[in-house]
Amino acid sequence: MPSAIFTRRFAANYFSTLGFIGLSYWVISALSGFHRGMLQGQWQFGMFEIDAVLSIHTLLLSLIALYAVVLIPYYARYRWLHSKAFVFLRGLRFSVARMCRPPSVARRRLQERQPWRLPLKAGLSPAAKQAGLALLLKFFFAPLMINWCLNHAGDMANSVVQFIDGLHEGYSGRQLFDSSLFWACFQLILFIDTLLFTIGYIVEVPALHNRIRTVDPTFFGWAICLACYPPFNDFTSRFLEWQSSDFPHFENTAVHFAANISLLTALSIYSWASVALGFKASNLTNRGIISHGPYAYVRHPAYAAKNLAWWIGALPNLYLVFISGNVRNAAYALLALCGWTTIYALRAITEERHLLLSNNGYAEYMSRVKWRFIPGVI
């Protein structure tokens, strides 16, 4: 093992990966206004009688330091691996070398006959393109998921403390549910989901069978996915204004409990899908086919459950819009909800198209599980 560290392959893998991490950190902390704002988030530990504050920026730096240490035994153990950063840089170097190479006689003659053509068909190799897409994927999603995971953990801890305090103060029924119990469950569900996706983007280990085999290479696949995530979803919301509430309120207590427990159930199915994915959880990737858990019943349980939760959360707003008698506002509210549902339907279609490009068993999985979203319906 120690001898593996003093090899050219180890050095190429390790330092190219560190270079990518360093470049990503520089972009996030110095250039991207969106990420700079995100890094300012903090988690107060005062609720645990600990005088400390953990910032997302500090957590990110700690993870980078830990990652730099863990990569040493990782690349020493998996000596046959080529890191994605190394594959991309090598492909980029070969591409530049081809562009700088003097054209052959045949290519010069072709250029004379067809001067509008490029003098050289330069470009990255398929492996280098896939490596670059995987790096771009990690660069965008890893900091986002770290931020969300920490925020959900903090909010969940807050809600648990409020729940305990509410019990001591004699809260019960709807008062306790509304003030803390709902939010504790809500944040726990989302914490589990974002934790698994955070690990999925950061960790690729052959022993876990979660290495990224391919990344969706199409512009439309990326565009329809990023339209659902900040900062891009701000632009999407300009056309499809958000109609749903995380915690819809109803005057009737029975309806209120039924709707919000149904919303939590839908989100639990959404999180269950992430648990089934395990360390393979990530967007736009082919990391192997999952057919257990909710994936045994429908091919896209997370999208179906998330959209169901949003429609439940939109019920009070839809009710108010419809009883107002404003047909235009009512039509737009329905259009916006249907628009977001359509976006997720398109995400499912583009993901299936990507997975079908490889001989990985997805076609057989589709033949076994015939329904995309709702068993027996669609």
> What's residue 34's pLDDT?
84
- Element (H or E) spanning 336, and its range? helix 327-355
> What's residue 234's pLDDT?
94
Is 282 inside any structural domain?
yes
> What's residue 45's pLDDT?
61
Contact 86, 12 (CB under 8 A): yes
Higher pLDDT, residue 63 or 45: 63
> What's residue 31's pLDDT?
86
100, burial (CB in 10 Å: exposed 0-12, middle 13-18, buried 19+): exposed
Residue 214 has pLDDT above 80, yes or no: yes
Residue 319 has pLDDT above 80, yes or no: yes
Is 45 inside any structural domain?
no
Which amino acid belongs to residue 242?
A: W
Average pLDDT estimate for 127-141: 96
Average pLDDT estimate for 273-293: 97
Is 331 inside any structural domain?
yes
Is 27 inside any structural domain?
no
> What's residue 341's pLDDT?
97
Is 176 inside any structural domain?
yes
Cα end-to-end span (Å), the chain: 53
> What's residue 120's pLDDT?
46
**Alpha-helical runs (H) found in 169-240:** 173-176, 182-202, 219-226, 232-239
Which amino acid belongs to residue 205?
A: V
Count the domains in the chain. Answer: 1
Average pLDDT estimate for 296-314: 98
Residue 307 has pLDDT above 90, yes or no: yes
Is 130 inside any structural domain?
no
The two tokens of residue 155 are 């909010």
290, burial (CB in 10 Å: exposed 0-12, middle 13-18, buried 19+): middle
Higher pLDDT, residue 359 or 45: 359
- pTM listed for this prediction: 0.91
CA R_g for the chain: 25
Q: How many CB atoms lie within 10 A of CB 51?
A: 8
pLDDT category, 118, cuts 50, 70, 90? very low
pLDDT category, 59, cuts 50, 70, 90? confident
Average pLDDT estimate for 225-247: 95
Instruction: Say whether the peptide bond before residue 231 is cis (omega within 30 degrees of 0).
Output: yes
> Which domain, by its residues, includes 148?
136-378
> What's residue 305's pLDDT?
98
Beta-carbon contacts of 354 under 8 Å, excluding residues fewer than 6 positions away, are 214, 216, 217, 218, 221, 284, 286
CA distances to 33, 154, 182, 264 from 171, rounded to whole Å, are 43, 23, 14, 21
pLDDT category, 106, cuts 50, 70, 90? low
Beta-carbon contacts of 301 under 8 Å, excluding residues fewer than 6 positions away, are 269, 270, 272, 273, 293, 294, 295
Residue 112 has pLDDT above 70, yes or no: no
Residue 251 has pLDDT above 70, yes or no: yes
pLDDT category, 104, cuts 50, 70, 90? low
Is 129 inside any structural domain?
no
Q: 350: domain CATH number?
A: 1.20.120
Contact 179, 262 (CB under 8 A): no
> What's residue 47's pLDDT?
55
> What's residue 35's pLDDT?
84
Is 298 inside any structural domain?
yes
Average pLDDT score, the chain: 91
- Give the up-direction half-sphere exposure of residue 307: CA atoms within 13 A in the CB hemisphere: 20
> What's residue 49's pLDDT?
61
Q: Collapsing DSSP states into helix, strand and coil, what is residue 378?
A: coil
Phi, psi for 42 (deg, rounded to 5): -135, 155
